[in-house]
Structure 1
């Protein structure tokens, strides 16, 4: 392990977090919350000074960023960012216990949206903004942001993007990694601005529009109201539905559309299945819950919103879907696991991996009938490499191991199985709410500190596609060169 380069990268991240912390300071000053604003400013100063200290020894001599350093830097970077991002919540006494503040912050940066708060509206404007802005930072990824701003070192930075970006494979949209990062964040920023404008035009206040857009585009789910999105007008709810679903689409599609590569944009198999799953699930749920609502329009609105918020792993709510029939809750449970598209800001297993698994099963069944048949698995007209198939199988194995080990530990709290299982599922897939005691009208404050630590690990593991968090657990990872 090259500890010098690791120190430099962590220091770099802290300096950028200091920059991010200036935004809630500005919000606090605007709304007259001077004491809270001062705390955010002081935290920003500490982050900046510590970041400078950690990156001070860098002399530009690092020529290559290897996989080990890339994965370790990403895993530690996200954790360190959360550790310092939680400090203002504790110092303002809005979340007095640090373990709860850390849970809330990790939930924000990983775009999970699971909360320990029972009264969100009691927070200051500065903290509400910071809480939602962590979604926007974590949605595309802080390392992608840094690479878009400036080259970090002379060697390869693709290992950072691979470790942080969601999906079974990561490729460059253009030859240079830095240019790819710029394109991704350009698209991300454009969708964010359009989302804020759209919500303002629908009648939502500017502050609410900013925070809601951060949660929608980042697929996070922290709201500024105790009723989440349920207290807003049907028009706003429909606008948020569209924004969430569009944010769950692979960003390659938007790049192809902007590049006028329309054939390539509409030929992506994963995206077609993504929309098919959404419409099939929403219509089935609408049929199942039709007796619960007065009109067909209201039924479809709640159905499409909840399907959109669950499959994109956003976590907003317009109604208590914990009261829905078992069929509807089971569909939502399956959508929690499937997740959004690879290359989007959404979490979950990803639609592409599910497609690959089904294609692999179909191939194996066909070979049982025709043992001598030579059959290739294809996606978007291209043969999938053995490496992609192997990594998908390993990912799924690791996914279920982490899921069941986490469940066993969380079950020590003696809550019902539905609560424990969906709590782990919601955090591992970065969704937010679960069912029963962690449903959309409840929170995660009931769990013990041990369970919260497990769920925090799951949030980080889910956002970073498991492997960076698992790699740092290996003793061999920390051996010095």
Structure 2
């Protein structure tokens, strides 16, 4: 079957126009802040918009038919085109003159990884910082729409399971429900962002810092306007509690937020993934807090302020913040968890493989996949004892089809293989073992902070150029659920039938 290249180019052009529009918004912020890069951002936005309009004009006679193969191409190349065009504000303004570094920073933004090569964030012009945060926000919303509205239609990653309960399309109806889904999700996403901005401003942040951190929290991104990240406000716990609350929301399935606003709270409370997500956070926070309280040196200013509430509160707050940050793959930092105890270093490394809920902006494997794998593993014991019995895996009462279980198993195996290969390639750049496995887990899971030389208080500036390109690739495949990108690398995908 021949690919419909015209509709692919038309949609990529539309994404460029969309991207350029946000660059022009950044130019407006630059003008308000008078940071000296307004014209640079205007040029960046104009170039993206013009290229997009040109692509759309030359493909205006495209066929409306679009099948799965075109869907894979649009999703993958859409992210790449957005990233390539997204480097313009960095390069034209001179904030990041290197194309490799600008590409890495932009890919980290759109994939909501939050890994940065910038050594001094606070000297970057406000308009560029706002653009940097916007790349998170755009990428985060794109992921929600993909997870709930698009990927179920492509049969990717077991997402069909949530499509049945989503306020959107089923596998056989693309229009108009997919449009309704996108609108509702955008409204919730925008509403949460606005609410967090207001709360952070009231709590003591400047408006500029508040809106940037809100953009990066709801997208579970992790870029900050401060070199110390959220640790900058360690003497203002209320700010950190506000960010924690919205990190928790961002890590939940946005469809559940829709149900909650519709008054269907029981659907939220009874959702198995949400319950396990909540339990994971509670248990892991308790474990971390106890160890921090008794074992970690919390006399450091990066962890504890003696004038604020006390040691117990500080231990619980930093434990909860870092657990939420890693599980939801946000990547904000209030303390260097790699300096606490060896147990907690390994502990937080393991959390990098967990991920938030499906249908959220989080990266990682996702809680529901772990849940299905665990349930299926226990049922194997029963099947061994009763080989003739039909014992289906159940999720939210409904039986999960064998196809979805196999899909999730395949995803997990592919994810772990990608992690192993990722670490091996990083080791080829003379990166030590601890740093290499941390880089692979963090890049693939879109976490941000890694281990070793690339831990929470460091950045990725010291990564060799080829290492940055490899990390960018891992970010992309991890963000787009592996299959979406990797299927394009198979020869049969391009074979005409």
TM-score normalized with structure 2 length: 0.91
Counterpart in the other structure of 2:247: 244
1:406 aligns with 2:422: yes
Counterpart in the other structure of 1:277: 280
Please report how far the alpha carbon of residue 226 of structure 1 lies from its aligned counterpart in structure 2 after TM superposition.
0.5
Runs of 4+ deviating beyond 4 Å: 157-167
1:173 aligns with 2:189: no
SS at match of 1:231: helix
Instruction: Say whether the 8 Å CA contact 1:166–1:347 is kept in structure 2.
Output: no
The whole-number CA distance in structure 2 between the counterparts of 1:192 and 1:86 is 24
Counterpart in the other structure of 1:419: 435
Counterpart in the other structure of 2:126: 125
Counterpart in the other structure of 1:154: none
Instruction: Say whether the 8 Å CA contact 2:268–2:274 is kept in structure 1.
Output: no
Give CA-to-partner distance per residue, 1:261-320, whole Å, 9 cap, x none: 222221100000001000100110111111423610111110000001000000000011
Give CA-to-partner distance per residue, 1:322-373, whole Å, 9 cap, x none: 1011222222112110110001111110000000000111111221222232
1:71 aligns with 2:49: no
Aligned residues between the structures: 470
Instruction: Say whether the 8 Å CA contact 1:163–1:465 is kept in structure 2.
Output: no
- Give unpaired runs (5+ residues) of structure 2: 170-176, 299-309
Instruction: Say whether the 8 Å CA contact 1:167–1:342 is kept in structure 2.
Output: no
Please report how far the alpha carbon of residue 259 of structure 1 lies from its aligned counterpart in structure 2 after TM superposition.
1.7
Please report how far the alpha carbon of residue 476 of structure 1 lies from its aligned counterpart in structure 2 after TM superposition.
3.7
Instruction: Say whether the 8 Å CA contact 2:157–2:407 is kept in structure 1.
Output: no
Instruction: Say whether the 8 Å CA contact 2:158–2:408 is kept in structure 1.
Output: no
Q: Structure 1 residues 60-69 or 379-388, which shifts more?
A: 60-69
**Pairwise CA RMSD:** 2.1
Instruction: Say whether the 8 Å CA contact 1:72–1:472 is kept in structure 2.
Output: yes
1:436 aligns with 2:436: no
The whole-number CA distance in structure 1 between the counterparts of 2:182 and 2:25 is 22
SS at match of 1:378: strand
Q: Which has the higher contact order (CA 8 A, sep 6+)?
A: 1
Counterpart in the other structure of 1:152: none
Instruction: Say whether the 8 Å CA contact 2:259–2:268 is kept in structure 1.
Output: yes
Counterpart in the other structure of 2:304: none
Aligned counterpart in structure 1 of residue 376 of structure 2, from 360, 363, 367: 360
Instruction: Say whether the 8 Å CA contact 2:23–2:89 is kept in structure 1.
Output: no
User: Kindly tell me: are residues 60 and 139 of structure 1, through their superposed partners in 2, closer, same or farther at Cα, counting changes over 3 Å?
Assistant: same
User: Kindly tell me: are residues 308 and 159 of structure 1, through their superposed partners in 2, closer, same or farther at Cα, counting changes over 3 Å?
Assistant: closer
User: Kindly tell me: are residues 165 and 258 of structure 1, through their superposed partners in 2, closer, same or farther at Cα, counting changes over 3 Å?
Assistant: farther
User: Kindly tell me: are residues 285 and 387 of structure 1, through their superposed partners in 2, closer, same or farther at Cα, counting changes over 3 Å?
Assistant: same
1:453 aligns with 2:456: no
User: Kindly tell me: are residues 37 and 165 of structure 1, through their superposed partners in 2, closer, same or farther at Cα, counting changes over 3 Å?
Assistant: farther
The whole-number CA distance in structure 2 between the counterparts of 1:9 and 1:475 is 24
The whole-number CA distance in structure 2 between the counterparts of 1:10 and 1:143 is 19
Please report how far the alpha carbon of residue 256 of structure 1 lies from its aligned counterpart in structure 2 after TM superposition.
1.1
Give CA-to-partner distance per residue, 1:34-66, whole Å, 9 cap, x none: 4x1111111111111111111123346523321
